[in-house]
Structure 1
Amino acid sequence: MTLTPQYYGTEIETDEVTVVVATRNRADRLIETFPHHRARTILVDNASDTPQPLFPGVDVVRLPANMGAAARNVGVQRARTPYVAFADDDSYWTPGSLARAAALMREHPRAALLAAKVLVGESGRVDPVSREMAASPLGTPVGAAGPSVLGFLACSIIVRRDAFLAAGGFEPRLFVYGEEALLAMDLAAAGHELSYVDELVVRHLPLPSGRDNGARARVETRNRVLTAMLRRPMPVVRRTLAGAWRENPGGARDALRQAGWAWRQRRALPPQVEEDLRRLS
């Protein structure tokens, strides 16, 4: 099935940004959101079970296996622009936001990541995570684009391509759910700024049902423990694991089963980044 998006390729806002969209088995949602992308777009198909729609002029990468969040890494590697914005198959950046984000990246050379405000559903309610980032206790450093953050929603960020790749992108073994925390730590550890910018806006149109929240909670718990093992001091690891045992024993057990690679890849964060994480918690 080939579709012609409403204005793809005719109202490109900026040639400095590539939008990377990861998708799997959500053709109906793609048909709704994809025409809204106003920059060169790379669609990474995470081994969908059914044929996905084709969009003329769009670079489509069909993966042989589901890579989860790491599918975005493939799109970033393929991009040739200095900045890359992420979108899920149920989200898009509102008109003007990509061009403004590119301008802010030029104005703030220390910024490796800008997080946009997320408006959820047809009503456009502000996502609670956006409210938290806007009120970040880390404040706004002198010369930064906005409040400092050490977390984000992956569908609402633009990154500096070279900084993202140098940091290793999204860790494949975390797969999905909570994968953002490790990347945020690693970008900050490399000395980059991560900022929330309220004037950048992303629309998120999640389906009202269809996800297994129990399974998601288990994976999120696993990833929270593994991320602590990878980067945080041992007292934090012990507290995180203890909390996981209380809240989601299955997720805690999953983390312990995969702890070997986490310990082998473990490295400490710079003191300032660790202090900022303590302030946020």
Structure 2
Amino acid sequence: MGAEEHMADVTIVVATRDRADELRHSLTRHAAPVIVVDNASADGTPDVAEAAGARVLRLSGNLGGAARNAGVREAATRYVAFADDDSWWAPGALERAVEVLDAHPRTALLAARVLVGEEERLEPVSEEMARAPLGRPDGLPGPAVLGFLACSAIVRRDAYLDAGGFSEVLHFAGEEELLALDLAAAGWGLAYVPELVVHHHPSRSGRNPAARRRREVRNRLLTAWLRRPLPAVARTAAAALGTRDGRGGLADAVRALPRLARARRHLPPAVETARARLGA
């Protein structure tokens, strides 16, 4: 199958908000059709995306990372690759991803190797995945993972939708783990494939590192509450107490719990065992 046929199997989905300048730089670098899901931007982001040739879904409110769900539903291809407004897949990566997924029908998600900035530093999450803490089970095209960076993942569309996509409650910052756990719980494989490359040039606009750390702690705690045994939840909460941002994230998680009272369900034992091996 040639490159054009492979690209007919992939749609790129980008969820964004108020990042017109970043999209001007990144959208021209995509090799496959792009759906931009706009989280109620106020800076002309949707117009920039349309001018660049993307299909644009304009949301009336900010759903965070869960906005990607609308893009996946809109896509008509077997596979959907995610990108952020400041990232893009390297030439040839998506064609190769299609080949890998076609050859591994029980794999729902591939996590690519991420190179950061002009100097192309290896993203620490990619470095950790390469160490293969969960091993490389037979039938997977690379080391098994139970997490990923949304800007560098390609998914089997039907498996993603069956798993429910990204959580609206988690919104953004660490929203990937819950989806990874749910895919694994449904019997799907998830793998790190370093021959697939994504470039990420992080935007400097609207960054608040402390707020992001607090949100990541919140979402880590909520994910543990939703899927893991109570001792694991307690350990996750205890680990959050050591920093100011952690304590703030813990308080935010407690406030969100009433919305999730009936959403808790246990992972299959094998998935919980694998998650426990990863520690914090």
- Bin for the TM-score computed over the shorter chain: over 0.9
- Give the counterpart letter for 1:215 in structure 2: A
For residue 42 of structure 1, what is the aligned residue in structure 2?
A: 35
Aligned to 1:266: 264
**1:110-189 paired onto structure 2 within 5 Å:** 110-189=106-185
2:81 is the counterpart of 1:81: no
Kept in 2: contact 1:13–1:38 (CA 8 A): no
**What does residue 5 of structure 1 align with?**
none
Normalised by the size of structure 2, how large is the TM-score? Answer: 0.94
Q: Is the 8 A contact 1:12 1:38 kept in 2?
A: no
How far the C-alpha of 1:17 sits from its partner, in A, is 0.3
Cα deviation 1:104-149 (Å, max 9, x = unaligned): 1100000000000000001111101101111121111112110000
Distance 1:196 1:127 in 2: 13
- Any gaps of 5 or more consecutive residues in structure 2? none
Code of the residue aligned with 2:82 in structure 1: it is: F
Could you say which residue in structure 1 is the equivalent of 2:14? 21
Moved more, 122-131 or 256-265: 256-265
Please say which of residues 212-221 and 187-196 is displaced more in the overlay. 212-221
| TM-score (normalised: structure 1) | 0.93
Indicate how the Cα distance of structure 1 residues 69 and 125 shifts in structure 2: closer, same or farther if over 3 A, else same. same
Counterpart Cα distance in 2 of 1:274 and 1:261: 23
Specify the SS of the correspondent of 2:69.
helix
The question of 1:97 aligning with 2:90 is answered: no
Give yes or no for contact 2:108–2:190 (8 Å, CA) kept in 1. Answer: yes
Q: 1:228: which partner in 2?
A: 224
Residue pair 2:27, 2:52 contacting (<8 A) in 1 also = no
**Aligned mates of 1:154, 1:61 — CA distance in 2:** 19
CA distance in 2, matches of 1:13, 1:28: 30
The size of the alignment, in residue pairs, is: 271
Partner of residue 212, structure 1:
208
1:36-86, Cα deviation, whole Å (9 max, x unpaired): 111111011111011120235421101111110001001000000000000
- Asked if the contact 1:178/1:223 (under 8 Å) is kept, the reply is yes
Matched residue type, 2:27? F
- Distance of 1:38 and 1:218 partners within structure 2: 35
Q: Secondary structure at 2:36's aligned position in 1? A: strand
**Identity, % of aligned positions:** 57
2:6–2:98 Cα contact (<8 Å) kept: no
Aligned to 1:253: 251
- Unaligned stretches of 5+ residues in structure 1: 1-10
- SS of 1:258's equivalent in the other structure is helix
**Deviation >6 Å, runs of 4+:** none
SS at match of 1:199: strand
**Per-residue deviation, 1:264:** 1.2
Report the aligned-residue RMSD.
1.3
1:190 matched to 2:186:
yes
